Structures are given as C-alpha cells and as structure tokens.
Structure 1
Amino acid sequence: MPPVPPYPVLIDSHVIGGFGRGSSDLGIPTANIPPSDFLASDIPKGQTGIYFGLAKISGTYGTLVRHSPREGNGSKPPVAEVVQTENRIRPEDADVLPMVMSVGWNPFYGNSEPSAEVHMVHKFADQFYGANIKLAVLGYIRPERNFASVDELIEEIMNDIRKAKELLAEDGYKQIESNEFFK
C-alpha cells in the first residue's frame, strides 16, 4: 500500500543539537532538526506525535560544543554551537534508513519548546551535528503522550520502531528508498 496523502512529505534540513536525552537517558540516539523545518512542511498543522518514514544523512559534520548548564528541569535545550569540520559521512552511514520521528512537546520531560527528533534505525559510529538530513515522512503512528517512567517511555519507543519497520516493509513504501529526493 503506498503512502496516503498528504504523505510522502519531504523535508530537507540539517542536524542540530538537542537536549542530549536520546542517547544518554534512553539509549536511543536522535538527530534533531530545527522545528521550523518540520512546521514549514506539508504535515497537518498542530499534529504532534510519532511519525515514520525514511531518512538519509550526507555531507560534512562537526562537533557540538559550548553547552550551557541546563536550567530548571531541563525543559529548554542547552545552548550549543556546531563547530563545522571536514568530517565526511562514512559510506556505510549514508544509506536511506528507516526512521521514527517525535514531534512536539515531549510531555514526559515537560519541554517548554517543541522539538523534532529523528531516530534512524542504524548504529552510527559518530555523531553528525551539522550534517544534511533528508526525511521522507510517510505516515503517522500515534499522538504524543506522557509516561509513568523512563522504562515505559523506552518500551513505547521500541514499539514505535517495530511498527515503523513493519509498515516500511510493505511494497508501497519500498519504492520510496530510490526516490530522486535521496540522490
């Protein structure tokens, strides 16, 4: 079954620094994109939650530096800057990959600002702040919600990843991997 309109939604962006919770708290690293890039897309406005699709990183990347101390309960991302270098994305990390993306306020953490956090189903050797990232958002999995514990949140994210992989295995989605957008 192919994606149902308004999908696919194609987003061309870059990786920015986020809260740092995906790797450290959850063991599920994310590549954050500017929320404005997501909000400017053709996704139905105001629909926060978990999306699935395909992603590809490319280009050069840098290092995230100059974190300021987190204020309060960590509801605002730390201030950081990407120092660009000539590090290139490794060929084995440059494939079109399955992804899940959380968009919204992350009620478990009580964010004061929205975020768009992409988890690509792949083990990367490096972090790739500042790299280009292309997303083909292919559908919506569920609305965002709060959780009673970190373990419950991790379990739900793993369910989202399983659901995304099942959906992406369908023939209508496989063809999108070769879309000109990812070239």
Structure 2
Amino acid sequence: MPPVPPYPVFIDSHVIGGFGRGSSDLGIPTANIPASDFLASGIPKGQTGIYFGLAKISGKYGTLVRHTSPEENGSKPPATEIVQTEKSIVPKDGVVLPMVMSVGWNPFYGNSEPSAEVHIVHKFAEQFYGAAIKLAVLGYIRPEQNFASVDALIEEIMNDIRKAKEILAENGFKQIESNEFFK
C-alpha cells in the first residue's frame, strides 16, 4: 500500500543540536533538524505529533563544542556551535533507515518553541552534528501528549518505534528506500 497523501513528504536538512534530552534523559538519541525545515515541508500546518518514515545521514560532521542549556536560553532550543571536522559518515551508517519523528512543543518538558526531533532506528558509533539528513515522512502515528513521568514517556516512545517498524514492514514502503531523493 503506497503512502496516502499528503505523504510522502521529503525533507532535506541538516542535524543541529537540540536540548540534549534524547540521549541523556531518555536513552533514545535524536537527530534534531530546524523546526522551520519541517514546517515548510508540506505537512499539514499545526499538526504536531509523532510521524514515521525513512532517514539517511550523509556527508561531513562535527562535534558540538558549545551547548547552552534550556535554562540559559529561557526554554528556547539551546544555542549550539558545531566544529566541522574531516569525518564523514561511514557507509554502514549512511544507508536509508527507519525513523520516528516528534514534532511540536514537547508538553512534558514545557518547550516554548517547537522542535523536530528524529530518532533513527540504528545504533550510530558517534554523534553527527552538522551532517546532511534526508527524511521521507510517510505517515502520522499520533498527536503529541503530556505524560505523568519520564518512564511513561519512554514507554510511549518505545511503542511509537515498534509501531513505525511494523507499519514500514507491513505496508510495502520498501520502494521508497530506492527513491531518487535518497541517492
């Protein structure tokens, strides 16, 4: 079954620093993209929540050298400085992979600005700030919501990941992996 309009939506962006909560608080690392790239992508305006699809990381990447906390930045996404290096994404990490993406205000954390946080279902050897990221958003899982605890939030994220993997496996989205967009 092919994606239902408005999907697929293709986003070509780059990885930026986020709040640092995905890895540290939740144990679920994310590759953040500028929320403006997502909002300009053709997804229905104002539809925050959890999406699924495919992602590919490529190019050169750097290290996060300065990362302001949400407290320093007044609940806005932290300011970051990325030092570009000569490191390139290794071939085993630069393939098309399943992803889930949270877009919105993260009510559990009370963000004052929207964010777009992509969890790629893959174990990367290193962080890859500044790398190019291509996303094929293939559908919507659920609206964003608040949670009573970090454990409840983690449990729901794990459910979202399972659901995305099941949908991608069952619905014949494999042909999207070979789309010209990812080449």
Unaligned runs of 5+ in 1: none
- Secondary structure of the equivalent of 1:65? strand
**In structure 2, distance between residues paired with 1:105 and 1:59:** 29
Partner letter of residue 49 of structure 2? G
Residues 1:28 and 2:12 aligned together: no
Unaligned runs of 5+ in 2: none
- Cα deviation for residue 118 of structure 1 reads 0.1
Partner letter of residue 93 of structure 1? D
**In structure 2, distance between residues paired with 1:124 and 1:18:** 17
Q: State the TM-score, normalizing by the size of structure 1.
A: 0.97
How many pairs does the alignment contain?
A: 183
- Which residues in structure 2 correspond to 1:1-183 (within 5 Å)? 1-71=1-71, 75-183=75-183
Moved over 3 A (4+): none
**In structure 2, distance between residues paired with 1:162 and 1:74:** 34
Partner letter of residue 13 of structure 2? S
- Cα deviation for residue 73 of structure 1 reads 9.8
**In structure 1, distance between residues paired with 2:47 and 2:70:** 28
Contact 2:19 2:70 in 1 (8 A): no
User: Sequence identity, in percent?
Assistant: 86
**In structure 1, distance between residues paired with 2:113 and 2:70:** 14
More displaced stretch, 170-179 vs 118-127? 170-179
1:25–1:85 Cα change, 3 Å? same
- Secondary structure of the equivalent of 1:101? strand
Partner letter of residue 107 of structure 1? P
Partner letter of residue 103 of structure 1? V
